[in-house]
């Protein structure tokens, strides 16, 4: 049997064994939050006050 160089180094204790790959969990599985329509609109900034510049000062419209 022919062994690779990496296998020989592992057998002699001279190399680090390769780590096992972990499965990644998607964020949607970890955290599920239901947002209402009003909360989504607030995050998007739909219901903000509107300001207008009048003679150098800002006024609420």
Share of the chain above pLDDT 90, in %: 0
pLDDT in tens, 32-46: 788 899 898 888 888
Backbone angles phi, psi at 17, to 5 degrees: -70, 140
Q: Are the C-beta atoms of 32 and 26 separated by less than 8 Å?
A: no
12: its two tokens: 């002699």
Q: What is the pTM of this model?
A: 0.33
Instruction: Quote the pLDDT of residue 30.
Output: 61
């Amino acid at each position: 049997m022919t062994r690779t160089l990496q296998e020989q180094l592992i057998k002699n204790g001279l190399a680090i064994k390769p780590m096992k790959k972990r499965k990644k969990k998607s964020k949607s599985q970890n955290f599920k939050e239901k947002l209402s329509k009003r909360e989504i609109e607030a995050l998007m900034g739909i219901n903000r006050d509107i300001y207008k510049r009048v003679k150098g000062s800002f006024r609420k419209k």
